[in-house]
Structure 1
Amino acid sequence: MECAITCSEVVKHFGRTEALKGVTLTVPKGSVFGFLGPNGAGKSTLLKIMVGLVRPNAGRVSVMGGKPGSPAVQAAVGYLAEQFRFPAWMTGDELLSFHLRLAGLRPSAAERSRLLRLVGLDGAGGRRIGGYSKGMQQRLGIAQSLVGRPRIVFLDEPTSALDPLGRLDVRDLLLQLRTQGVTVFLNSHLLTEVERVCDSAAVVNRGVVVAQGALETLLQRPSAQLRVGWLTEDRLAALLKRVEDIAGNAPTHADGLITVATSQPGQIPALVQVAVELGVPVYEAGPVRQTLEEAFVKLIRERSP
């Protein structure tokens, strides 16, 4: 796996407060990566280290193969901070022209229009930012982060001020960036949005990464479900007993759905076979997929330092 970001044992202190306590993680190149955690967990601190705004006290960080803050890395990075404020007297076009010049690029009308169109602000470039709604300013911030066609984009709570349609637009944009090979590092507390767009994620709490990996892996739960037909009480009792013998855990039954925590991978075929042997009609069988919110809460409660 080729990595866009690698962090090894990153530590950061602010006075006596230890914001990061040896963070280690990897972000696959070309992925949309979600960085999740409760408030005060250290998410924004690590993001600022990655973009070169804050220096760690210890550990190593590599972004696109280089040192954060170096000219080569800065040229490849786009960044939207969680809290930002643009000059109210500027127009959207003027702000993008300013950032294009900062990037050493010609502030052409075509490029400004392309950026505004990407974030759904077509026709708003001539208006002063002071007249923009909060959602429009958020969209403009995302457009600013895409100046120079960066190879990696860091977004800190990019949809916090957007309505549901705006969040859908941003989701589509992130998926579009992924198809272009752009790596997106997404810091967000909106777990449903992360679940819909991210390939992989890490969960941090109290300055420590408690879990990371492909999103599908994080959402897997060692449980199985069987949807069965109507059963007599005797046959249901026999099935539940056999299921418990195989899985090693007591199953539950409600509305024709049997759920059991499995103790080993690959137990679902054995559960189906038992049902068939007992003459039980099985309409559906498969692993249980939990939501990201359920997985997040479980990880924070069970693995927190």
Structure 2
Amino acid sequence: MGLRTLAGMPPALSVQALEKRYDGVQALAGVDLVVEEGELVGLLGPNGAGKSTLVKIACGLVRPTSGAVEICGAPPTSADARRALGYLAELFRFPGWYSADELLSLHQRLAGSDGDRAERAELLRLVGLDEAADRSIDTMSKGMQQRLGIAQALIGSPRLLLLDEPTSALDPAGRRTVRTLLEELRGRGVAVMLNSHLLSEVELVCDRVAIISRGKFVAEGSPEELSHARGVEIETGSGMHSFPDAEREDAPRLVADLVARGESVYEVRILRTSLEESYLEVVEDTQE
């Protein structure tokens, strides 16, 4: 049974003026966020910023103090929302004596999925575990268990996936498998909100990033939009020439000047801040 591609639906996730207070502590201070179908959004922020609270409210596990959340147009505690949502927690534990196939079969029953062995086989293939269907979980590496967790989150063809640190236990090959999977899900119209501290992974796969600090979103945009220029470097026969205040548009003139001075130019690098650098700048500003 294949994952369904859906169109013409409300946003996969809609968050409006969301607030949550715990005994006087403001965990969320009026946040707004929309995740459209087929969109991969990275949710970033320091510990205690409000990420987990937002995810728990979206899952229907915590009630907000005020504001509204909808999963595919339905309240998060409704049966419709739960059918539309797949979730993988950062800290999870599956029964070690189950095989991968048995675990997915259990979650099919729990989710009320009408899928069968074909759905389980496809999900194991998607996460690169098609050869491990009959292998017991306690013999799997942590990375294999992480990928199995992603497979169980996909049971029932959810329109929205909430993934908490899905690549934290994976080696480079495993992270590439997950990136490929997320790109395939994007093509099928599945929305993903990805919470990760591996900012290099978020930068590679996410369409948009939302940075939360002290219960508020402090920056939002594509990884490219959140970065900024930090100069031009030009390698010549006499060495490296750095122009920290230059931008992309300045590069042809800088090269022409160096050639006019008799330099042989071998490489030009347009420098921009990484997502990690941009994230640290934004978060450190809000912590002051």
Corresponding position: 1:300 with 2:260:
no
Q: Are residues 276 and 57 of structure 1, via their aligned partners in 2, closer, same or farther at CA, if it must alter by over 3 Å?
A: same
| TM-score after normalising by structure 2 | 0.85
Name the SS of the counterpart of 2:74 in structure 1: coil
1:227 alignment partner, one of 221, 230, 234: 234
Q: Are residues 70 and 228 of structure 1, via their aligned partners in 2, closer, same or farther at CA, if it must alter by over 3 Å?
A: same
The offset of 1:35, in angstroms, is 0.4
Q: Are residues 109 and 275 of structure 1, via their aligned partners in 2, closer, same or farther at CA, if it must alter by over 3 Å?
A: closer
Which amino acid in the other structure matches residue 86 of structure 1? F
Flag the structure with larger Rg. 1
The offset of 1:25, in angstroms, is 2.2
Corresponding position: 1:74 with 2:82:
yes
Which residue in the other structure is 2:13 paired with? 5
Aligned residues: 276
Which residue in the other structure is 1:242 paired with? none
Moved runs in structure 1, 4+ residues, more than 4 A?
A: 228-231, 271-287
Which residue in the other structure is 2:118 paired with? 110
| TM-score after normalising by structure 1 | 0.80
Instruction: Note the 1:1-305 alignment, pairs <5 A.
Output: 3-106=11-114, 108-219=116-227, 221-225=228-232, 227=234, 255-260=240-245, 268=249, 279=260, 288-304=271-287
Which amino acid in the other structure matches residue 296 of structure 1? Y
- 1:247-269 Cα offsets, whole Å, 9 max, x none, are xxxxxxx822312067xxxx935
Q: Give the gaps of 5 or more residues in structure 1.
A: 232-253
Q: Give the gaps of 5 or more residues in structure 2.
A: 1-9
Which amino acid in the other structure matches residue 242 of structure 2? L
The offset of 1:56, in angstroms, is 0.9
RMSD value, Cα = 2.7
The offset of 1:184, in angstroms, is 0.8
Name the SS of the counterpart of 2:221 in structure 1: strand
Q: Distance in 2 between matches of 1:104 and 1:131?
A: 28
Q: Are residues 216 and 110 of structure 1, via their aligned partners in 2, closer, same or farther at CA, if it must alter by over 3 Å?
A: same
